[in-house]
Amino acid sequence: MFSKLSTFRNKAIRSKKEKHKFDEDHHISKASKSYFPTLSTLKGKNDSEVPLSPLRFLHSNVSESHLTSPVSFGRFSSYEYDNESVTASSIISEEIGVSTYEFRSYEDAEEEFLQDHEGYFLHLAVDNVRKDQYPKLELQRLVYLDYATCPLYSQFQVEQHVKIVLEGSDPYLGLVSATSNSYSEKDTYVDITSKLLLNLFNTNQDDYTTIFTPGLASCYTLFTEMHQFQKGSILLVSPDSHESCKHVMHTAVSSGVKTGLVPIRKKDLCIHGSAMHELLLKRGWGSHGCGVLIYPAQSYFSGICHSLNWIPGAQQNGWKVLLDVTRCLPTVSVDLSLYQPEFVAGSLHHALGYPSDVGYLLVRRNSHSICTQKGSIQLKMAEVPDHGTSIHVVGESLSLHTFAALSFGLKHLQTIGMAAIRMRVDSLFAWLIQTLKSFKHKVAEKPLLQIYGSLDLKHRGSILAFDVLDSTGNVFPPGLIRRLAEKNNIFLGVGCLGNPDLYRLLHRKSEKQLGEDASMCRSSVVRASLGAVSTFQDVYRLAQFLFRFSDEEYTTTEAVDYVEEQGQSC
């Protein structure tokens, strides 16, 4: 026991040294103002100075109740609260209302967590970034766990963007003050955004052409315009793909293409291996190869990470692959130097949170070239090696100033470090699953939660879909869980496990007629998703909140009373 505590103390000392070194290396200390500009400050509790966010979301007093109305800067950072104030307690167990003898103390849980998860422990310096760049989280004691819907954006990204706009700087000059050997003085913000984005996927402009679009839906629309669907070929789409796949399926069907869904196992929501292999061996009745496989690297709905090994497996059998990576950056690794799908679709909004509605379609250059027509933004594909332009911008709404904001956001993620982000998220997710799956009702020792998808961490990413059950096994309405969480300053998402529209398109049936075929398409489930600056305190407070539902008294009094107070059904 003594040896174990001694090891922990040594790690703590090493961590403090690493945090100071991180500050010096990344210009977060007071001695450096080049990366993080001087911020206005306000006096917080105990008269400590806290950086003041330029966004209207940051108030000294916020409501304890749920969010009421969105404004223009994104889901979390731009909501207004009621005028009621929150008294932030320094004791986490008091905030959630769980007595310490029922739920283990935060101090004990954190100590054990740090000993068990060295990957997280070695990157405690990321907490400095959270305090400096996301001060509202600490100031208002908020737990934000809806990164899958909209990530939080840093003060650095917004302030640098505002500075560029207000000063009227030439957006063609690029990041002159933050250039490195990777950039030239002629690089525009578009060039730098493309290079930074490809670098996060461990690839470059020699391998992929980048096409920026006004949103993820535009990526799929552009793909249908570029790709010539041949009659007799096959289109396979995963049922947990983005809803924009509907447009691709409609186009394919009208072109005489056979359509099908990637087989997903009901027990763990992973791709059914043997059934998938059989589908990949099938050939279309035409002479133009098998067709196209579309699937997400991380499920939009369940958070399951589908294996990237399906990419070479499909390609070896004559398929082209469109990989959706929207829910991956920055928390899930996708290495395009090892796996090279013909197309990669994603959304920078879902990676950075700001600015909104910017998507990207990456096209592998050794299999396709892109030609632009004068006076038209339509792109056409030719299956010859591409030796032309490596970047295209589609849509007049994408200004060069937009790319300035994107480049600052990607630079910020690069500064934190992708390895650090992913190690921390993996550690937090492992602890969260291990903890939640052990929860049981005090009555009859029945499971408290229904966690969807495989519990094997090799299949997990940064999203957890679950339901809260009562002692009889019935599901609490996800909307109720989300609103009760918001009452405790914990922000969760609500989603479904699959895309019912894809089932309807495939089977030509109504939702009632689908029955067993669409059993995955639950109307809604609770969804918690981690991000770049998520901490152990975040997942601890979530677990602590959910543990309350094991108490019959809580579920029959406070929860029910809250529903009646809201005057609306969940």
pLDDT in tens, 379-402: 555 555 556 678 989 887 888 889
8 Å CB contact between 365 and 208: yes
**DSSP structural state of residue 449:** E
| Structure confidence at residue 554 (pLDDT) | 83
Q: Strands, DSSP E only, in 152-275?
A: 208-213, 234-237, 258-261
Strand partners, 361: 211, 345
Mean pLDDT score across all residues of the chain: 77
Low-confidence winner among 105-109, 311-315, 433-437, 442-446 (lowest mean pLDDT):
442-446
Report which listed range, 56-65, 278-287, 540-549, is most confident.
540-549
For residues 566 and 260, the model is more confident at 260
Is the per-residue pLDDT at 108 higher than 50? yes
Report which listed range, 20-29, 382-391, 508-517, is most confident.
382-391
Instruction: Convert the pLDDT of each residue in 37-47 to its tens digit.
Output: 322 222 333 33
And the tokens for 311? 């990419």
Measured in whole angstroms, the distance separating CA 65 from the mean position of its chain's CA atoms is: 25
Helix (H, G, I), strand (E, B) or coil at 94: helix
Low-confidence winner among 21-30, 47-56, 249-258, 339-348 (lowest mean pLDDT):
47-56
Distance from C-alpha of 161 to C-alpha of 410, rounded to nearest angstrom: 13
What pTM was computed for the model?
Answer: 0.79
8 Å CB contact between 138 and 52: no
Pairing status of strand 463-468 against strand 525-529: antiparallel
Among residues 363, 364, 360, the alpha carbon closest in space to that of 403 is found at 360
| Structure confidence at residue 73 (pLDDT) | 28
Is the per-residue pLDDT at 359 higher than 80? yes
Find the helix or strand (DSSP H, E) in which 487 lies: helix 478-487
Cβ neighbours of residue 198 under 8 Å, at least 6 residues apart?
A: 204, 205, 207, 208, 210, 336, 362
Distance from C-alpha of 525 to C-alpha of 527, rounded to nearest angstrom: 6
Q: Which residue has the tokens 């959706």?
A: 324
Instruction: Assign 81 a pLDDT band (cuts: 50, 70, 90).
Output: very low
